[in-house]
Structure 1
Amino acid sequence: MAWKKLFWLVWAVAGGFNYAGLAQSLSSEATISLLTYSPGSQLYTAFGHSALRVQDPVNSLGGTPLDRVYNYGTFDFDESGFYFKFMRGKLNYKLSAYDFYYVELEQQQRQMDVREQVFDLTLAQKQAMFDFLNVNLLPENRFYLYDFFYDNCATRIRDAFEVVLQDTLRLDTSLVAVESRKTFRQLVDEYMAPQPWGDLGIDLALGARIDQPASPYEYMFLPDYLAQSFEGSTLLRGGQEIPLIRQDELIMTGRPTKNSTSPNVVPREANPRTDVPRWATPHWTFIALFAVFLLWTIITRKQKPVQWPDAIFFSLIGLLGILLLLLWLATDHQTTKENWNLLWAHPLHLLTVFLLVRKQLGIGAKLYFLLNGFFYLGLIPASDVLPQEYHPAVIPLIVLIAFRYFYKYYEVNLVQ
């Protein structure tokens, strides 16, 4: 990461020439703190949020005491081609600055917890951080190419402190023992458990690259872990190490839920409550889908074959395969590459649809159905040794795919 710190430092110095005329000096009473928001119910708020707060009761901004929040996690839904840019990995996020009053309004709306950790910085360090943030806020600097795992609202704050404080910062990376390290996917799963369909979508879209154990440094892409790291970090001052955080409290409290952020952040436990009834989760939905196909097969087994249910089913799986292939080959996202879900959800299922609508099927189609049945049946135990962890809900889908291919082979035999 040394190159990244160097880039930020050069960028800040260069931007400082433009910022020089706008500089504002902080007083000795100024404070800088980290705000950690608890996870919300929307997908984009499911992992919580991090922002920096700068307060100065002596200096004013627009006639009121300075109380400003710097937020690296803002984006514009109304941006032209928003969803297309997001899918391609070309969506810009930006640093925004606004009055703390708007955090209070958001808290009232979302009923979130907000934890504040005040840093024990010297006046010179506060000023350097304040200047760094304002340089980043310049129109030519505020935008950056967002990466959920490696460059987001939390990692930007971590990187800013490393650049500004340099060798005086002793960042705590003892968040987790080496033998207990989780993969990126497992970390995401902990937060997505209340949203099982969103969790399924993420697991389908992201490939094997997030199945590597994350280092404690990399854990800090999640706001909770950034807060936990800062809690244990120290500053070198006068030849001694002092805590980076001098005050830590929960300044706003939302609804009392199991997953609320506490003053001493403990990362979310595995398998927290879900906001979706159990019967409506992907796992049970796909089991029910298998049961429907099985019942329909039993009822119609002596009737003339009807192909449209299978045609719809394999069309949807084939279209999913096209999407996963595009995410791998046609985007800048690094974490959507090497996606082993393409073993079962691939575009070749559309060939199956083509065969199903044909009136006459030969020995080639018969062999195609049989081999596919065995392939997907074998994929179920093989999924345990793949370099990518499958979402548990896809196992019933793979079983259903194998079942339908075997039954199509059986139907061809009946017709012949």
Structure 2
Amino acid sequence: MRALAMALAVALVGPRTASAQGTTVTVPVPATQAGRGAGDRADAAADEDGRASGRLTEAALAGAASAVGAAAPGPPEPTPADVQAAAGMRVYLMTIGQGDVVWERFGHNALWIQDPARGTDVAYNWGMFDFAQPNFLGRFLTGDTKYWMEGFDARAMVDHYARNENRTVVAQELNLTAEQKARLRAYVEWNAREANKFYRYDYYRDNCSTRVRDAIDLAVGGALRRAIGGAPTGTSYRSHTRRLVAGSAATYTGIQLALGRPADAPIDAWEESFVPMRLMEHVRRVRVPTAGGAPQPLVLRTDTLYAARREAELASAPSYVIGYALAGLAIGALLLVLGRAGAAGRRGADAGFGVVAGLWTLIVGLAGTALLLAGTVTKHVFMGRNGNLLAVSPLGLVLFIVLLLAVGYRQPAPRMRWRGRAAKLAALLAVLTVLGAIITLLPRVGQESTELFALLVPVHLALWWALRPATGVTRPRSAA
């Protein structure tokens, strides 16, 4: 999910990483790589939450064999000695709340393992990636970005999110048996090996939070999935995305445009746990079998390590239909005024219409081409079957070229011919847009794009009307 926001952020709001835009980011020192310099690590990698600019996979850890690096042998089973050594361990689900930057709005999490016997205090983070990876941009655009997991000094991580980013940090101690703790530690240490740590990121189905969820589920023998899998939530991937990026107009619009019908499918509590804050809520209510067999709460206690001074996370997304409709009416009115004045022979108005209409159709055409490619030739599953293509399509590029010809000719006859052709294309675009708006409202067929069509319908109708042949007006004068 965050990857999608960051995908748009790369295009709309440039990435903020350890080296981008002059921003320096303090990355916690990895507890598993104490010999490396902190500066080298900060330049080499960015954690998913604050430093990243893309979040994009597809294989969940349904068990050890399907975990990261499935081609490699799975994690070893803990021995009796391992179980005995794990008895004094404490395991926490660390959840980091929302931040200021677009991709920080989705939260973050990690598995925190304290082992007094070993003297280690490690937070395992599945949200790592590196801009210097070979073909990073190509992988990013096609939905094939490689992420990895790594262990960090837990206290340094908490301090970073609290002091540097003013984000809430909550630690939930998990009620695990010694055997479950040993199994979890064996898994994360196996997963942290170079051969096993990489995975292909999917912003909804395989992200930092789902990896943490699956690791916990592995430790408790599938009890977490049995408890929350299939539990209805009344939410979808889109509904969570909308509420989490609400307030950022450009990103909100871009994500609404990019997501297709698959993002509107209802999701259960297991799937909803791709949002770290929702996983935190779900584990709080789960009861799992213990050594004695009696079900006990999965969470022993919850500690808020830092409470951020910021607005609370929205429970649901507000509706922006009226705002989008007003924006559409304003742009449409401008096109009508300039277009009809230009048709009456006012050269200044004609030039103004050409600029506004040309810019609009260029944006529509480029965005439509990107949507078409994303839904057909990439691994961005949730951008497929996108009804927005009816209104935002490559047809906009054709209309853009025809508009340039209509405005560019100085002689009346060719200007009128090209203007007529532009009017026909605009009429087709308007009809498709209205059709898309109708389909959007149909149950089981449409997708949640009402706000976008509230913007697009008045603009495309106005564009067509402005290009229609004028009656009872003076025809354009020849410049000769």
**Fold equivalence (TM over 0.5):** yes
Contact 1:113-1:250 within 8 A present in 2 as well: yes
Give a deviation string over 1:194-216, Cα, whole Å, max 9, x none. Answer: 32321211111121111111122
Alpha-carbon spacing, 1:383–1:406, altered in 2? closer, same or farther (3 Å) = farther
Distance (whole Å) between structure 2 residues aligned to residue 413 and residue 365 of structure 1: 20
Contact 1:170-1:235 within 8 A present in 2 as well: no
Contact 1:170-1:233 within 8 A present in 2 as well: no
> Which residue number corresponds to residue 63 of structure 1?
none
Contact 1:380-1:399 within 8 A present in 2 as well: no
> Which residue number corresponds to residue 219 of structure 1?
272
**Letter of the structure 1 residue corresponding to residue 359 of structure 2:** I
> Which residue number corresponds to residue 200 of structure 1?
253
Give a deviation string over 1:269-320, Cα, whole Å, max 9, x none. Answer: 124799xxxx9x8666555433433443465453244434322221221111
> Which residue number corresponds to residue 50 of structure 2?
none
> Which residue number corresponds to residue 382 of structure 2?
335
Alpha-carbon spacing, 1:28–1:346, altered in 2? closer, same or farther (3 Å) = same
Q: Does 1:324 align with 2:371?
A: yes
Higher mean Cα deviation, 345-354 or 24-33?
A: 24-33
> Which residue number corresponds to residue 101 of structure 2?
42
How many residues align structurally? 395
Contact 2:180-2:219 within 8 A present in 1 as well: yes
Give a deviation string over 1:18-61, Cα, whole Å, max 9, x none. Answer: x99xx99845332001011101122221111111101123322x
Distance (whole Å) between structure 2 residues aligned to residue 3 and residue 68 of structure 1: 21
Alpha-carbon spacing, 1:48–1:373, altered in 2? closer, same or farther (3 Å) = closer
Q: Does 1:162 align with 2:162?
A: no
| Residue segments in structure 2 that go unaligned for 5+ positions in a row | 1-58
**Letter of the structure 2 residue corresponding to residue 228 of structure 1:** E
Contact 2:72-2:195 within 8 A present in 1 as well: no
Shift, 1:251, TM fit: 1.2
- The equivalences for 1:107-146 within 5 A come to 107-146=162-201
Q: Report sequence identity in percent.
A: 24
- Give the TM-score normalised by structure 2: 0.73
Q: Does 1:390 align with 2:449?
A: yes
Alpha-carbon spacing, 1:366–1:332, altered in 2? closer, same or farther (3 Å) = closer
**Letter of the structure 1 residue corresponding to residue 316 of structure 2:** A
Distance (whole Å) between structure 1 residues aligned to residue 358 and residue 310 of structure 2: 47
Distance (whole Å) between structure 2 residues aligned to residue 181 and residue 392 of structure 1: 20
Aligned residue among 183, 194, 198 for 2:236? 183
**Letter of the structure 2 residue corresponding to residue 132 of structure 1:** Y
> Which residue number corresponds to residue 151 of structure 2?
97
Give a deviation string over 1:89-148, Cα, whole Å, max 9, x none. Answer: 010111011101133123211101011110111222212111110000000100100011
Distance (whole Å) between structure 2 residues aligned to residue 174 and residue 14 of structure 1: 27
**Letter of the structure 1 residue corresponding to residue 242 of structure 2:** D
Alpha-carbon spacing, 1:284–1:36, altered in 2? closer, same or farther (3 Å) = farther
**Letter of the structure 2 residue corresponding to residue 137 of structure 1:** A
Distance (whole Å) between structure 2 residues aligned to residue 273 and residue 340 of structure 1: 19
Higher mean Cα deviation, 319-328 or 363-372?
A: 363-372
Higher mean Cα deviation, 164-173 or 49-58?
A: 164-173
**Letter of the structure 2 residue corresponding to residue 87 of structure 1:** L
Higher mean Cα deviation, 403-412 or 102-111?
A: 403-412
**Letter of the structure 2 residue corresponding to residue 94 of structure 1:** W
Contact 2:84-2:178 within 8 A present in 1 as well: no
Alpha-carbon spacing, 1:369–1:193, altered in 2? closer, same or farther (3 Å) = closer
Distance (whole Å) between structure 2 residues aligned to residue 84 and residue 391 of structure 1: 32
Aligned residue among 122, 126, 131 for 1:77? 131
Contact 1:169-1:236 within 8 A present in 2 as well: no
Q: Does 1:172 align with 2:227?
A: yes
> Which residue number corresponds to residue 106 of structure 1?
161
Q: Does 1:403 align with 2:462?
A: yes
| Residue segments in structure 1 that go unaligned for 5+ positions in a row | 61-65, 260-267
**Letter of the structure 2 residue corresponding to residue 130 of structure 1:** R
Distance (whole Å) between structure 1 residues aligned to residue 452 and residue 363 of structure 2: 16
Find the residue that maps to 2:379 and give its secondary structure.
coil
Distance (whole Å) between structure 2 residues aligned to residue 191 and residue 141 of structure 1: 31
- Give the TM-score normalised by structure 1: 0.84
Distance (whole Å) between structure 2 residues aligned to residue 367 and residue 79 of structure 1: 47
Find the residue that maps to 1:254 and give its secondary structure.
coil
